[in-house]
Amino acid sequence: MAGVSPINQLLCKTIRVNPPQPRLKPSAFTVGSVSFATGKSAERSKALRVRPVFRVRAVSEDEWGEEKPAAEGPVAGAGAEEEEKKPVTETEELKKKLVGALYGTERGLKATSETRAEVVELITQLEAKNPTPAPTDALTLLNGKWILAYTSFVGLYPLLSRTLPLVKVEEISQTIDSENFTVQNSVLFSGPLATTSFSTNAKFEVRSPKRVQIKFDEGIIGTPQLTDSIVLPENVEFLGQKIDLAPFKSLITSVQDTASSVAKTISSQPPLKFSLSSNKAESWLLTTYLDEELRISRGDAGSVFVLIKEGSSLLSP
């Protein structure tokens, strides 16, 4: 650019605009703690005179259209993402390892000796990091439904071994109500024709910071809920032998019709209840680890129970 154009020369000058000063009689008024003067007193108070000044600066051609670089700093939302990505604690890692070791063991029934040794080691490490040293003083954490994930209690193994063909143990759970000091143990069975449950109701008493005494008083056999459709597997294993069920599929249609006709009648019947009041219907439970989603308890004969709170992400495969 050879020289500065007349327009740029004009823009480089400083333009001053001075508003006309009205002639007022000398007077004064106060607003708050600031005094304002008019008339001749205004001339004496140059500090209070307002002289608007407008300045125009010449801009070179290279600057036109040039965008200013964005200010350096954290990207919006980055801080929130960093806060969400909290570091995984050692306890969380141990819990994930424990759940991984339990996969495929069918609540301990099919666990190998190596798996059992690994589970015992992980349980021992978690118990050493128990965030709730006095579980009976934190009964609200015990509230709710807990799903059994593993046990070394051999008394449950006949139940888990599926001695009856086509019958499957869908779920074993324990529901605790700390306000009423009640415990309900429940087993949910499913078959090709219906689903049903067997439950026991009990009361518990706090005996120590970790130990509760449980007394069972009632058993309940749930009303079978018949299914509208029957799905039979290709074969079933019974007493070590596989039985082909293909010839029975022709009977499915007639069985379905019969099942549908009696479903309404059976489903409307109340559950069957019976008393369990006896000296043998008592047990105790020692809670050795407890948080919002995992509970480890020890019972009679040194048996161990690993339970996961219903709705926990630990139950996801």
Q: Quick count: other Cβ atoms within 10 Å of Cβ 296?
A: 22
Percent helix, strand, coil in the chain, to 5, is: 30, 30, 40
Using a pLDDT cut of 70, give the percent of the chain over it.
58
Give the residue, 2 or 119, on which the prediction is more confident. Answer: 119
- Average the pLDDT over 165-189 and give the result: 91
Lowest mean pLDDT among 7-16, 189-198, 240-249, 275-284: 7-16
Instruction: Specify the pLDDT at position 293.
Output: 97
In whole angstroms, what is the distance from residue 70 CA to residue 290 CA?
50
Going by pLDDT thresholds of 50, 70 and 90, the confidence category of residue 289 is: very high
Residue type, 30: T
- Beta bridge mates, 300: none
pLDDT at 262 > cutoff 60: yes
Give the residue, 30 or 184, on which the prediction is more confident. Answer: 184
Give the residue, 261 or 311, on which the prediction is more confident. Answer: 311
φ and ψ at residue 10, rounded to 5 degrees: -65, -40
Instruction: Specify the pLDDT at position 264.
Output: 62
- Where on the phi/psi map is residue 117: left (φ > 0), alpha (ψ -120 to 50), or beta? alpha
CB 222 within 8 A of CB 199: yes
Contacts of 138 by beta carbon, 8 Å cutoff, 6+ apart: 132, 290
In whole angstroms, what is the distance from residue 193 CA to residue 206 CA?
42
Where along the chain do its domains lie?
90-223+270-312, 230-268
Instruction: Specify the pLDDT at position 36.
Output: 36
- Beta bridge mates, 283: 214
pLDDT at 304 > cutoff 90: yes
- The token duo for 283 is 């047990």
- The token duo for 116 is 């059992």
CB 283 within 8 A of CB 268: no
Q: Which of 190, 210, 191, 202 is nearest to 282 (CA)?
A: 202
DSSP E strands in 21-167: the ranges are 27-31, 34-38, 53-54, 144-151
Give the residue, 267 or 15, on which the prediction is more confident. Answer: 267
Task: Read off the pLDDT of residues 239-255 as tens digits, 9 standing for 90 and up.
Answer: 667 777 766 666 655 66
In whole angstroms, what is the distance from residue 122 CA to residue 306 CA?
11
Instruction: Specify the pLDDT at position 241.
Output: 72
Task: Read off the pLDDT of residues 270-281 as tens digits, 9 standing for 90 and up.
Answer: 888 888 877 677
90-223+270-312 topology per CATH: Lipocalin (2.40.128)
Using a pLDDT cut of 90, give the percent of the chain over it.
41
Task: Read off the pLDDT of residues 62-94 as tens digits, 9 standing for 90 and up.
Answer: 544 444 454 454 444 545 554 566 788 999 999
Going by pLDDT thresholds of 50, 70 and 90, the confidence category of residue 15 is: very low
CB 276 within 8 A of CB 218: yes
Lowest mean pLDDT among 31-40, 111-120, 131-140: 31-40
Give the three-state DSSP class for 68.
Answer: coil
Q: Which residues of 155-173 are buried (b: 16+ CB within 10 A; e: fewer)?
A: ebeeebebeeeeeebeebb
Instruction: Specify the pLDDT at position 47.
Output: 45
Instruction: Specify the pLDDT at position 261.
Output: 67
Going by pLDDT thresholds of 50, 70 and 90, the confidence category of residue 188 is: very high
Give the three-state DSSP class for 85.
Answer: coil
